[in-house]
Amino acid sequence: MVKYIIRRLLQSIPIFFGITLISYWLMSLAPGGPVEILAFNNRMKPREREELKYILGVNDSLPVQYLRWLLGDDWMRWDRDGDGLADSAVLVDLYAPLLSEAGKPLVDEATGEVLIRPLPPGTARGIIRGDFGSSIYYKRAAIDVLVERLPATVELGMTSLLVGLILGVAIGILAAVNHGGWFDQSSRIGAVIVNSIPNFGLGLLMLLVFGSILGILPLGGRCKTTLSDTCPPIQERLEYLILPTIVLAAGGVAGYSRFMRASMLDVVSQDYIRTARSKGLSERLIWLRHGMRNALIPIATFLGPSITFLLSGAAVTESVFSWPGVGRLLVQAPGRRDYTVVMIVVVYAAIANILGYLLSDMLYALIDPRIRLE
């Protein structure tokens, strides 16, 4: 198992860099840019605008920009005026012939003034070293913005996953046991209806009925607004979690129940199930001990991607219920032209997706001891 995990993680490295490369290229095709956002509706002169482009490095070629975003620019750019920002590559080229030794600041011998110095370490270290840059909208580190939204997404995602998995597996087993009965037919019709309703439609319907008409549940948010902008423990605000959990778990219940039913019906027709019946074992023991464990293997195929989807942020559900999670952050960031936030969410989602599929493979071995990943 350990060797398999290490091998899969090594195979994921080029996949990760491929995702970042394609995402960065797509982001570069978007109209506008950070300079337009920073210089919007102010009195910045054209020369100052060009200097800002040089400082941000947006005039460089796309490969150079990607390399800077990936590895940082403290090793490839210079700070001439000591303001902690990278100067333009043109200025570096002008002063480079005057440098007596690479990496050493150039000092005017007459006045002692530092003409050009290496960019201070940590100013722009790149995402490999944990520096995703500063958010244009929030005016602080992009990674802090993401970390701030993660608890809300994990809270909603894990709750929805548990509800969807438990109810879906239970309904699937009962539908298979009562194959052809009223419960089986009702569950199949219910699954079709639930899958036909989009999340935003179901969410708005829930808000209208339980929030507006009946007034028994809040209309959105994660908790009441406080002066400290923090939420109390989850047991003190369960009413805020009910509606988004129902909406997000509805699709999981419908999907898991259908797959579990089909898998159970396939398993109970196997020879070892007939052998168990011939030995006089009870139907409950046959279905739950011998049938359910093997029927859970197809569920493991969908469980990993489901975890990835929920932990990456259910954008539609979080937006409908004003849930302050990663999904809602990703919806808002492109409209605000907050490029650093968009890219850090993409990187986070890529890592979650890779780990989700790895988790699916690991679950195979945990559910079925006949499977050996080595």
Query: Which CATH number characterizes residue 154's domain?
Result: 1.10.3720.10
Encoding tokens for residue 213?
Answer: 């008409």
First-to-final CA distance of the chain? 6
What per-residue confidence (pLDDT) applies to 88? Answer: 45
Together in a domain, 121 and 71 = yes
Together in a domain, 278 and 347 = yes
Together in a domain, 50 and 100 = yes
Q: Alpha-carbon distance 43 to 49, whole Å?
A: 10
CB 311 within 8 A of CB 325: no
CB 328 within 8 A of CB 305: no
Together in a domain, 314 and 165 = yes
CB 360 within 8 A of CB 304: yes
Together in a domain, 350 and 205 = yes
Together in a domain, 312 and 205 = yes
CB 67 within 8 A of CB 24: no
Together in a domain, 85 and 148 = no
Give the Å distances, CA to CA, from 109 to 54, 112, 114.
28, 5, 9
Computed on alpha carbons and rounded to an integer, the radius of gyration of the chain in Å comes to 28
Kindly state the helix (H) or strand (E) to which residue 132 belongs, with its residue range. Answer: none
Encoding tokens for residue 350?
Answer: 């890529």
Three-class SS state of 106 = strand
Query: Per residue in 60-79, is it b (16+ CB within 10 Å) or e — as a string?
Result: beeeebbebbebbbbebbbb
What per-residue confidence (pLDDT) applies to 56? Answer: 63
- Of 129, 152, 172, which marks where a domain is finished? 129
pTM beyond cutoff 0.85: no
Q: Alpha-carbon distance 284 to 92, whole Å?
A: 77
What per-residue confidence (pLDDT) applies to 167? Answer: 92
Together in a domain, 205 and 308 = yes
- Provide φ and ψ at 255, rounded to 5°: -70, -50
Domain that holds residue 341: 142-367
Encoding tokens for residue 137?
Answer: 């909208």
- Of 64, 95, 129, which marks where a domain is finished? 129
Tokens 């608890």 correspond to: 151
Q: Which residues lie closer than 8 Å to 280 by C-beta, 6 or more apart?
A: none
Give the Å distances, CA to CA, from 104 to 30, 78, 81, 84, 107.
38, 10, 15, 16, 9
What per-residue confidence (pLDDT) applies to 331? Answer: 86
What is the chain's pLDDT, residue by residue, as a tens digit (374 residues)? 677 778 878 888 888 888 888 888 887 777 666 656 555 555 666 666 666 666 566 667 778 778 878 877 655 555 555 555 555 443 444 334 433 333 444 455 566 554 444 444 334 677 887 788 788 788 888 888 888 888 888 888 889 888 988 999 889 888 888 888 888 889 889 888 888 888 888 889 989 999 888 888 888 888 876 544 577 788 888 888 999 999 988 888 888 888 888 888 888 777 777 787 787 777 777 777 777 777 777 777 777 777 777 766 678 888 889 888 888 888 888 877 788 888 888 888 888 888 877 877 777 767 666 666 55
In a domain, 206, yes or no: yes
Amino acid at site 293: R
User: What is the number of structural domains in the chain?
Assistant: 2
Together in a domain, 66 and 158 = no
In a domain, 4, yes or no: no
- Provide φ and ψ at 70, rounded to 5°: -80, -45
Nearest residue to 307 (alpha-carbon basis) of 165, 169, 203: 165
- Of 95, 129, 163, which marks where a domain is finished? 129
In a domain, 1, yes or no: no
Q: State the number of CA atoms in the 13 A half-sphere of 1 facing the CB.
A: 10
Q: Alpha-carbon distance 317 to 314, whole Å?
A: 6
Q: Alpha-carbon distance 89 to 103, whole Å?
A: 15
Together in a domain, 283 and 327 = yes
Together in a domain, 226 and 348 = yes
In a domain, 373, yes or no: no
Together in a domain, 303 and 166 = yes
Q: Alpha-carbon distance 226 to 232, whole Å?
A: 10
CB 96 within 8 A of CB 52: no
